Amino acid sequence: MAAIPESSSTSGPPAGDAVDWSAYLPLVLLVGGWLAMFGSSYYRLSTTIWATDAQGHGPIILAVGAWLLYRKREALSALARRPQTLLGAGFLLLGLAAYAIGRSQSVWTLEIGAQILVLVALLLCFYGGAALRLAWFPLFFLAFMIPWPPELVDAATHPLKAAVSVVAASLLYDAGYPVGRSGVILMVGPYQLLVADACAGLNSLFTLEALGLLYMNLMNYQSIRRNVLLALLILPISFCANVVRVIVLVLVTYYFGDEAGQGFVHGFAGMVLFLVALMLILSTDRVIGLVLKAR
């Protein structure tokens, strides 16, 4: 019988396979601190303005922004660490001050906008300016979830609502429907419909602009001309999609009554808005690509 070597009699995984959980401690502390600071803000948002049509895109923007940052994890880890602690501390103090003022005075713009300043501070303190250049788009994308002051939204929304109302009423009237308009109120048959902010306002414009910018980021176009042109064309695309949404709601109300127009179909019209916008963005991008290639 051959002797069994002593080394083969040992059991258990090699020492190299042991997981060093201490390496995850900084990440756990950062996530815990982030949730301790902004967790209650997210909860309050979910029970207030995120539950409305006008700001319903907030949690989606937050989730996509977190995913975009997660996609950068390997590139960030590969960076040579050159921390800019002093500059990072300045951004951190600015973010904490914005959060404290916003939370105490119920100013959502400052309270939620503070998270971008805190993220900038963390990147500067851990990696330096190179990390900001690498993660600029996720940080910029998170700005679309910031609730802006109602006075600013109202001032910018009214011209958009008026323009959408005029175009929608004109198209329906030319198509032979008994449609009248008084400001942003559309009359069709015995019904009156108010074109609300969620149907043709600044918030839907922000959402569709964010959708277009996300599309360009995922496509990773290197042509600055193509990116700028598509970003500018998203504005009229958003306007056209809002017109389609209002027309759908008017037609549903005209044929099926006010309850149908304000029920499930009203929410479904929001899906139609994004589907139309997405198709227009894809088509416009295709045309821009063909034109630039031809030139």
Q: Is residue 265 part of a domain?
A: yes
Model pLDDT, residue 20? 60
For the entire predicted model, the pTM comes to 0.74
Pair 174, 280 in one domain: yes
Question: Which residues sit opposite 186 in a β-bridge?
Answer: 181, 193
Per the residue annotation, which of 71, 225, 226, 245 is the catalytic one? 245
Starting at the edge strand found earlier in the chain, the sheet holding 179-182 runs: 179-182, 185-188, 191-194
Pair 112, 172 in one domain: no
Pair 119, 191 in one domain: no
Model pLDDT, residue 270? 65
| DSSP element (H, E) containing 61 | helix 58-71
| DSSP element (H, E) containing 194 | strand 191-194
> Residue 210: which domain range?
151-294
Pair 268, 230 in one domain: yes
First to last CA, the chain: 82
Model pLDDT, residue 201? 53
Per the residue annotation, which of 103, 181, 199, 226 is the catalytic one? 199
Pair 234, 219 in one domain: yes
Is 199 tagged catalytic? yes
Pair 159, 44 in one domain: no
SS3 236: helix
- Final residue belonging to a domain, choices 99, 131, 147: 147
Q: Is residue 106 part of a domain?
A: yes
Is 240 tagged catalytic? no
Which amino acid, 176? G
Pair 224, 131 in one domain: no
Average pLDDT, the chain: 81
Pair 156, 273 in one domain: yes
Pair 136, 158 in one domain: no
Measured CA to CA in angstroms, residue 30 lies from 83, 122, 290 at distances of: 17, 9, 46
Q: How many domains does the chain have?
A: 2
Q: In whole angstroms, give the CA distance from residue 285 to residue 38.
A: 37
Q: In whole angstroms, give the CA distance from residue 182 to residue 72.
A: 50
Please give, one letter per residue, the 3-state secondary structure of 143-193.
Answer: HHHCCCCHHHHHHHHHHHHHHHHHHHHHHHHHCCCCEEEECCEEEECCEEE
Q: What is the pLDDT along the chain (295 residues), one digit of tens a residue?
A: 444 444 444 444 455 555 566 666 777 888 888 888 999 999 999 888 888 766 777 888 899 999 999 888 888 888 888 999 999 999 999 999 999 999 999 899 999 999 999 999 999 998 999 999 999 999 999 998 888 887 777 777 677 778 888 898 999 999 988 898 888 788 887 888 877 655 555 566 777 788 888 888 888 887 888 888 888 888 888 888 888 888 888 888 888 777 665 665 666 666 777 777 888 888 888 888 888 887 6
Structure tokens at 168: 């929608």
pLDDT in tens, 178-201: 898 888 788 887 888 877 655 555
